[in-house]
A and B are shown apart, each in its own frame.
Chain A
Amino acid sequence: MERPDWAPQGIDLSRPSVSRIYDFYLGGSHNFEVDREAARQAIEAFPGLPKVMQANRAFMRRAVRYAVGDGVTQFLDIGSGIPTFGNVHEVALEADPSSRIVYVDHDPVAVAHSRAVLEGQDRAVVMAGDFRSPQEILESAEVTGHLDLDRPVALLLVALLHFIQDDEDPWKTIAAFRDALPAGSLLVLSHASWEGGPRTSEHGRQIQDVYRTASSQLVMRRRPDVERFFTGFDVVEPGIVSMPDWRPDGPTDQEDPVVYSGFAGVGRKA
């Protein structure tokens, strides 16, 4: 018998969580031993992974500032995970105190943690939701109550889409979000790949193996598949590039080569 939709899923703390692994990469302690064990294996398989994550955070920060500079002060951050530091709302509110942020994650622990972190913060809210159900997110009380969907929104899919499998058709899901958002909205996206950096597809395969036991499976994609995510968006300068190369704040010559693995980009809905 299929479990009915309205019956809740349990939490399995014995399985590594991609949110808590990410926290570990960033030096946080919002994690349990299973998460740390998986993270250690991943780092072994793909040395320098924490640096890549740092670069990803840095990209996100720059992209948020870019959005505010572009006049977009509403943020829909899907797959927000466990906020450690330098979160979207911190960066955005620093750039424009009238910004509004909705965090979305499907990990109940991440949602509960975000709720605690955001206590007393009325510019940002968190909701439990799944990227794969765009309708549910867009029609949720959190989104409709906190954001004005008649004005441009920055949709943040940072380090998220490599957890969505091809057969779940993330391209179609992005199109659903795109169609629901007004012109001028931004798509902020970063995606794991061994392309661009010194690691090989073999490293990529190994890290995918590590994630096989985790709460979400990892799928590294190649450039053309990442480019297709921007269908219906005008990709802003400098295009879809390695994370450190996306509008850097300063010289990048001292960056560890590994942080060039993967892709980042921002697109604007015409």
Chain B
Amino acid sequence: MNTPVQGFAGPGTAGPAESGRQADGIRRFATIWSRAVYPTTATSMTRAEFERHLIPLTERLCTALHARPFDPADAREVGSALVAAHCTSPEALPQVLGVVDAYLLLYCSDPQRLPTEEGRARCARLQHAIAAGFARALQERTRVEQESISRAALAAQAEIEKALYESQTRFRTVFEEATLGIGIAAMDGTVLDVNAALTRMFGGNAAVVLDRRVTSWVHPDDAPGVWRKYDELVRGEREHFHTEKAYHRPDGTVLWTNLTVSLLRDPDGTPRYMLALMEDITERRLLHLRLRYEATHDALTDLPNRTLFFERLEQTLSRTEAGARFGLCYLDLDGFKTVNDSLGHSVGDQLLVAVAERLQGCLAGPGQLVARIGGDEFVALVSDPRDRTEVTDLAGRALEALSTPVRVDGKELSVRTSIGIVEGPVAGLTAAEVLRSADITMYRAKAQGGNRYELADPDLDARAISRHSLTNRLPAALEGAEFFIEYQPLVRMADGCVEGAEALVRWDHPRHGVLGPDRFIPLAEHTGLIVPLGRWVLEQAVRQACEWQVRGIGGPRQLRVNVNLSPRQLHHPHLVADTVAVLQNAGLPPESLCLEVTESALIRADDDELKPLRQLAELGVGIALDDFGTGYSNLASLRRLPASTLKLDRSFTQGLQQHPADPVDLRVVEGIVSLAHALELSVTVEGVETASQADQLRTLGCDSAQGWYYARPGPPERFSEQMAVAAGQ
């Protein structure tokens, strides 16, 4: 960098002293030159560096000044070299030329070789050449730099365009390959672009969608407010909205979508496009609807089910407008169980379907609904009845519709139904309360013979409620061991000895105290709970009898136990097997058990129904015909019954309590006893309360008796004590 000046380089014959003087002149010129020019340059060189940089340039000027022949071309190079040293400012040129003009001859000319006049002329021409060279170089440099920055800008632009193209390609691919339907619409609603997935949703033809207005896709099922949201979005007041939306497809089918519409704005925030993202939920929705239908409809009859009924009932009851009323008919088929049990479930089902159809046919408008809420339980709901008549008319139509027998499998089945109606203002009622009231009222209709409707009545309800609540509590009572058994001795008239006892079930109700069988056995019979309850009684009684026998109570003769059998138990398919199992488990001989069946239950039974009793009788179990004389017994039919004992109803013995006894009663009892004995049946009398009564009955030939005269029903311990006392006597 620091090239020392090697003397005056010009042509001629300068000696060492001369050349030293010239070198000094050149250095001094360069110093002055640098001082003038440096402030106008953009060089990053220091002043000293810049000054050294100017020395070779000064030398060239000096050489050119003295050259013969004179050629100013070299000075052009000096001008161009200054541009290369970043003297690129136009202000630099006057500084450059000014110093050359003023000092070049002074410091760099050799007057011996260059006459002053010629020197001045040459200096002027050198300045012209420097200026020309400077201008040309600056022009050249400017052109080159402009070109290079333009090229750079173009290259950068090209690179960005390539990247943009790639990113657009990527975007396009995302757009096209997306499984979501994507559509872009202008702010006037014209659809501008849709992707393949969206096209497929609409049936595969993009033309169906493109160029259409978004607003032409109004569908009757559009969610309320969705078009208001659309307008808000178009006005730029909303960024997006989401809805489930239906579209008509060209083939007439409906496309259901999960739709999100977003607003796309340009950089200054003006709404530009709408972007729709849609997912085809047609299948999912159909499935959902089907599941919803299945969840709210009864599979057998296709009527609304309990769920839907309660939904609607709650809706109806939740209305708050003044004077809002409702009506409800609760229908229960009378004796449907019998149909199911005797003709089979298939027939039962067909009957239910036919009933459902007929009830459906009774509806008078959209405010009425029929639902099946249980096995043979139907309800009709009237959402907003004009008056009570509208509801009772409906119940009347239902009874009428069911009055024609239903033909199933070639059989004509008569349908009887009991209907409980609740009708009134909705105020403050819950669905459960309404249904319970209707249920109770329905039972009242049933209790009054069935095949009728009854209107809910608060007073009657209250009574029915206790019956109803007892019924409801029965299962829990059986679970919770609230039942217990008392035993009433049966006495042989011939010698006054106890021959056994009748087991009588009691219910120790937590609220109502001890209830007799007349209070709850019919309820248990109705609900079917009699079967497990009866079985429990049988087990207890048999076990008790066994205990007495083991402990030797009753002396050498084995005590017998009498257990009541209800009609439903009688028809139970497992009666024989269960009874045998109970006896075997306890180890009690069949002869020590007597089953009491009411006369009315037995008289109606046909041969098939008597078969189980016959089997039990053949095993040795005694069968007593209970309450004999209360039904209209065909005495002749007694022959075919497997009974071994007649239990004469207490009504016959009441006349014998008087003294003297009613002669007619005496004659009747005498006749029955003789008839029974003729049929090889023993006779037991109930309700014996006095000694004379007992005497007369013995005289009349009765075999055994029970009643307060002998002993009241009591716990098994007391019975054991009594027996022990008797044995001790």
Decide whether A and B are members of one complex. Answer: yes
Q: Which residues of B contact A235 (CB under 8 A)?
A: none
The interface size bin for chain A is 35 or more
A270 CB–B CB distance under 8 Å:
no
* Secondary structure dominating the interface of B: helix
B160 CB–A CB distance under 8 Å:
yes
Closest 4 CB pairs of A and B: A113-B152, A27-B42, A108-B156, A29-B145
Q: Which residues of B contact A61 (CB under 8 A)?
A: 44
Q: Which residues of B contact A82 (CB under 8 A)?
A: 149, 152
B574 CB–A CB distance under 8 Å:
no
B156 touches A54 (CB 8 A): no
Per the 8 Å Cβ criterion, residues 21-63 of A in contact with B are 23, 25-32, 50, 53-54, 57-58, 60-61
Q: What would be 7 A-B contacts, judged by CB atoms less than 8 Å apart? A: A13-B153, A28-B145, A29-B145, A108-B156, A110-B152, A113-B149, A248-B46
- Closest chain A CB from B178 CB (angstroms): 15
The interface size bin for chain B is 20 to 34
Per the 8 Å Cβ criterion, residues 142-179 of B in contact with A are 142, 145-146, 148-149, 151-153, 155-157, 159-160, 163-164, 167, 170-171
B46 touches A249 (CB 8 A): yes
The contact of A58 among B46, B163, B262, by CB within 8 Å, is B46
Per the 8 Å Cβ criterion, residues 111-148 of A in contact with B are 111-113, 115-117
Q: Which residues of A contact B149 (CB under 8 A)?
A: 20, 23, 29-32, 82, 109, 113
B167 touches A113 (CB 8 A): no
Q: Which residues of A contact B283 (CB under 8 A)?
A: none
B47 CB–A CB distance under 8 Å:
yes
Q: Which residues of A contact B48 (CB under 8 A)?
A: 249-250
* Secondary structure dominating the interface of A: loop
B39 CB–A CB distance under 8 Å:
yes
Q: Which residues of A contact B146 (CB under 8 A)?
A: 29-30
Q: Which residues of A contact B160 (CB under 8 A)?
A: 8-11, 108
Q: Which residues of B contact A9 (CB under 8 A)?
A: 160
- Closest chain A CB from B625 CB (angstroms): 93
Closest to A85 in B: B86
Q: Which residues of B contact A109 (CB under 8 A)?
A: 149, 152-153, 156
- Closest chain B CB from A186 CB (angstroms): 20
A116 touches B155 (CB 8 A): yes
The contact of A8 among B45, B167, B264, by CB within 8 Å, is B167
Q: Which residues of B contact A111 (CB under 8 A)?
A: 156
Q: Which residues of B contact A27 (CB under 8 A)?
A: 41-42, 86, 88-89
Per the 8 Å Cβ criterion, residues 30-74 of B in contact with A are 39, 41-49
Q: Which residues of B contact A112 (CB under 8 A)?
A: 151-153, 155-156, 159
The contact of B142 among A8, A29, A50, A254, by CB within 8 Å, is A29
- Closest chain B CB from A117 CB (angstroms): 8
B141 CB–A CB distance under 8 Å:
yes
The contact of A256 among B39, B43, B171, by CB within 8 Å, is B39
CA A249 – CA B1 in complex, angstroms? 14
Q: Which residues of B contact A249 (CB under 8 A)?
A: 46, 48-49
Closest to A51 in B: B39
CA A223 – CA B332 in complex, angstroms? 97
CA A20 – CA B148 in complex, angstroms? 12
B43 touches A54 (CB 8 A): yes
B44 touches A85 (CB 8 A): yes
B145 touches A58 (CB 8 A): no
Q: Which residues of B contact A85 (CB under 8 A)?
A: 43-44, 86
The contact of B159 among A108, A248, A256, by CB within 8 Å, is A108
Closest to B48 in A: A250
Q: Which residues of B contact A13 (CB under 8 A)?
A: 153
Closest to A114 in B: B152
Per the 8 Å Cβ criterion, residues 293-314 of B in contact with A are none
- Closest chain A CB from B148 CB (angstroms): 6
Closest to A35 in B: B149
CA A57 – CA B41 in complex, angstroms? 13
CA A85 – CA B53 in complex, angstroms? 15
Q: Which residues of B contact A28 (CB under 8 A)?
A: 42, 88, 145
- Closest chain A CB from B423 CB (angstroms): 60
Per the 8 Å Cβ criterion, residues 180-239 of A in contact with B are none
Per the 8 Å Cβ criterion, residues 624-664 of B in contact with A are none
Closest to A94 in B: B1
CA A27 – CA B84 in complex, angstroms? 11
- Closest chain A CB from B384 CB (angstroms): 51
